[in-house]
Amino acid sequence: MSSTSLYHQSDTRIQTELQIIERAKRDPKDFAPLYNQYHESIFRYVVKRVNDSDLACDITSNVFVKAITNLQKYEFRGVPFSSWLFRIAKSEVYQSFRDQKAKRTVSIDKVTIVQVFEELNLDDDEENKAKLSRALRRINEKELALIEMRYFEKRSYREIGEIISVTENNAKVKTFRALQKLKVLFKE
Amino acid sequence: MRKILFNYQDPSSEDVQSKRDFDLVLKKVKAQQDYWKSPWFYGAIGFASILSFLIFI
């Protein structure tokens, strides 16, 4: 279920990344392979939430600036490097909302919305879309972020857990509760 | 108020890749490092500290 995520496939890949990180701590230019690898997934994460390509470009750039300037603090604790980047991206996106540079957007494509309605056992019609819009506007930000990552971006619970700094099981429980809340709000 | 888009279209990979600019990232990193190293920065901090001290006494 993780079409959006670029997840580590092997220990070899993790080791290669760690070597790049160690080199980049000494010389930021050596960060280039990680930038090339993760730029697209970070950009997609950002642009879906801010709905502005130019702003997403700036925010993505800032995510990597922050990653490089804070690289000395990065320690490998079994969590993929990409999760660390997504955490920075999350923080930068919320900062842009606080600075009122962007309006919080929830972006769902045509295929995904059909799957979401299937999950909710509902018809994909205009009335239900209007109800879902209302529910998505009312649900709190943390719950929305979980629903967004799981159902609209199809991330695994493991990755969601690593992005929000909780265990895989905890991510599963929290996402389930968020979906229940969304269902309640949908019916109101 | 959140904006909800039901017909979102993902940008193409080519479009996203055309936005890559690692040189810009490096320039921003260097600018930040230069800012912290700048004598103006520490001069301003020092001046503010002395001023606070003088006001305090």
Q: State the Cα angle at A165 between B17 and A149, rounded to 5°.
A: 50
Q: In the structure encoding, which two tokens stand for residue A160, read together?
A: 């969601």
DSSP class of A119:
H
pLDDT tens, position by position, A94-146: 999 999 888 999 999 999 999 989 888 888 899 999 999 999 999 999 999 99
Cβ-Cβ pairs closer than 8 A, A with B, add up to 82
User: Least CB-CB distance to B25: which of A53, A64, A129?
Assistant: A64
**Whether A186 contacts A131, CB under 8 Å:** yes
Residue A148 CB burial class (10 angstroms; 0-12, 13-18, ≥19): buried
pLDDT tens, position by position, B13-48: 999 999 999 999 999 999 987 766 666 666 777 778
User: Least CB-CB distance to A65: which of B11, B16, B25?
Assistant: B25
Which pTM was predicted? 0.86
Closest approach of B50 to chain A, Cα-based (Å): 30
Q: At residue B24, what are phi and psi to the nearest 5 degrees?
A: -65, -40
Please judge whether A107 and B28 are an interchain contact, meaning their C-beta atoms are less than 8 angstroms apart.
no
